A and B are shown apart, each in its own frame.
Chain A
Amino acid sequence: NAGVTQTPKFQVLKTGQSMTLQCAQDMNHNSMYWYRQDPGMGLRLIYYSASEGTTDKGEVPNGYNVSRLNKREFSLRLESAAPSQTSVYFCASSGRGGGEDQYFGPGTRLLVL
């Protein structure tokens, strides 16, 4: 039981490049989330998926797209990376949603030059 896994662990991009961050959970959770964490800013919700087949914007969705591929997998795509997207990205899942306790992955550290 691996919980929530994320790939890659670290990535360097040039401005304008695209990439997809992958997330998978093996806890049969319905809800999944993508957050970004910047120094002094805490965690901010980018997108979430309340259940398979649905996605919704969070607090900071601009510049990102998501896909809930199936119940296990939820990917985050940067179509044209910008230096402002340099951050640590965390994926999380929860059995129910909203305020319920979430299980977080180890994070992806992204540097955009």
Chain B
Amino acid sequence: LAKTTQPISMDSYEGQEVNITCSHNNIATNDYITWYQQFPSQGPRFIIQGYKTKVTNEVASLFIPADRKSSTLSLPRVSLSDTAVYYCLVGSSGAGSYQLTFGKGTKLSVIP
């Protein structure tokens, strides 16, 4: 299983761009990288997914270098409502067998 490592916590002021990096040194060829957001007392919610290079959607960007040993979630101009825990997930499927490893999460606190 790919092991993932994230910073435990980060602080940011409102309006700033926030970058959260996840390290996954032994990522497998078939693995995708997915990021989730979790608010207290709720289940995680999908943010973005990628395999390599850069992916962008309406809420975030995901940067994955060529060696794929890390990934960076970028949140543009954060607001107070972005205060949450962010998890990276490295996983793949093949012939019905799933390998899924969540990081321990990064608690983002957005300061007014």
Binding site for B on A (CB under 8 A): 4, 31, 33, 35, 40-45, 48, 50-51, 54, 56, 58-59, 90, 92, 96-107
Contact = CB atoms under 8 A, between A and B. Distances in A.
B93 A50 contact: yes
A100 B51 CA distance: 11
Interface of B: 1, 30-34, 41-46, 49, 87, 89-94, 96-105
A54 B96 contact: yes
A42 B87 CA distance: 8
Nearest to A9: B41
B47 to A, nearest CB: 9
A49 to B, nearest CB: 10
Given A90-B44, A101-B34, 13 more contacts: A4-B43, A31-B98, A35-B102, A43-B44, A50-B97, A56-B97, A58-B98, A90-B43, A99-B92, A100-B49, A100-B93, A106-B41, A106-B42
